[in-house]
Amino acid sequence: MNLHVTAELDGPITTNPVVREDVVRLVDLKRRFGATPALDGVSLTVQKGEILGIIGRSGAGKSTLIRCLNGLERPDSGEVFIEAREISRLGERDLQPLRRRIGMVFQHFNLLSAKTVEENVALPLKIEGRPRAERLARAAELLQLVGLSEKAQAYPASLSGGQKQRVGIARALAARPALLLSDEATSALDPETTRSILALLKDINARLGLTILLITHEMEVIRSIADRVAVIDAGRIVEEGAVWQVFANPKSEITRSLLGAIRPQLPPEIASRLAAGEGAETILRIDVAGQAAHGPLLSDLSAAVPGPFRLVHGGIDHVQRQPVGTLFLSVPGTDAAHLAAVIAFLKDRDARVEVLGHVASPV
């Protein structure tokens, strides 16, 4: 079997020990709509220069969270700090200059159809009262950054979806924000265009040191560019950590479910035959990451634990330049001691092992 390895768009792991500044800090944020808690005690931070992905299913609280961040929604309790300033109790007049420190990228672009690309990008500066020459110079600079200089005088109707999102990103950067909020920015795009937009965001993060908070329901978006991930469910952060670590060892059921679309799964023809009790073969799921995934795990297992086993499915991916793998092994026979020795060896190599069940005949 070929083990598929993918490293496209993966960013470096941050090992810099220098204490970093929090651009966003949320403290025990709560917001209810009637009897329904949209946010139920959310606390998290986004550090300067990092990309944090917040992922959850529809209705998990993502939209309410992002509206609290830009001041469009006021929490019932808790605190929202942007660049060390608490904003949840500010009046509209005081919120306006703060909102200029936050750029927004939307799922459906939100471009003004009657204005040119150049005018759309320069709009935040026009609202701010900047001189025309300054606005146009900034728009030209940003259109070059996003690769659309030749479209400055075009109108949104003539652009592709990916081009419209590039304009949206340029516009979000116009006022030189400290924080970029991306609200499902790639959900309306095809896979190839999505990859190009994510690569652009990663490049902007690297070039400008811009802090980015991604709201998404797609784990592939998180895998591609985020440094850390926070999983939200029913208004609570249920899991948080470096992306590769969460991918390697998801703690919550919702995280495992969200990862199901991009991590190897037991083929249906085998899964449908699984049963409890004894059988001709035992099926194991093995999750490995980091150093455990670097070495010849199966070769070492074969040498250390004499007896049969077979790789029936799985592969190794790379997340943040760290190998993360899921393998499915079949261990034939009913020798409990042999099975226990296989499991013990794998666990001793820092692998996470789960007995999925047994099949009555060889797979």
The whole-number average pLDDT for the span 72-99 is: 91
The whole-number average pLDDT for the span 94-106 is: 90
Q: What are phi and psi of 32, to 5 degrees?
A: -115, 150
Closest CA to 229 of 68, 29, 11: 11
Q: What whole-number distance in Å separates Cα of residue 331 and Cα of residue 206?
A: 46
pLDDT grade for 12, boundaries at 50, 70 and 90? very low
Please give the radius of gyration of the chain, using alpha carbons only, rounded to the nearest integer: 24
pLDDT grade for 20, boundaries at 50, 70 and 90? low
Closest CA to 179 of 48, 329, 53: 48
What are the structural domains of the chain?
22-101+177-259 (3.40.50.300), 268-359 (3.30.70.260)
Q: What whole-number distance in Å separates Cα of residue 363 and Cα of residue 354?
A: 18
Q: What whole-number distance in Å separates Cα of residue 40 and Cα of residue 59?
A: 13
pLDDT tens per residue across span 102-147: 999 988 889 999 999 999 999 999 999 999 999 999 999 999 999 9
Two tokens at 257?
A: 């479910």
Percent of the chain exceeding pLDDT 90 equals 64
Q: What are phi and psi of 84, to 5 degrees?
A: 70, 5
3-class SS of residue 186: coil
Give the model's pLDDT for residue 19: 52
The whole-number average pLDDT for the span 171-190 is: 93
Residue recorded with tokens 């150093």 = 291
Q: What mean pLDDT is reported for the chain? A: 89
pLDDT at 4 exceeding the cut of 60: no
Q: Specify the amino acid at residue 342.
A: V
Burial of 350 (0-12, 13-18, 19+ CB in 10 A): middle
pTM of the model: 0.84
Region of poorest pLDDT, from 4-8, 227-231, 247-251, 289-293? 4-8
pLDDT at 278 exceeding the cut of 80: no
The whole-number average pLDDT for the span 171-197 is: 93
pLDDT tens per residue across span 316-351: 888 888 888 899 999 988 788 999 999 999 999 889
Percent of the chain exceeding pLDDT 70 equals 94
Query: Distance between alpha carbon 110 and the CA centroid of its chain, in Å?
Result: 23
Q: Specify the amino acid at residue 272.
A: S
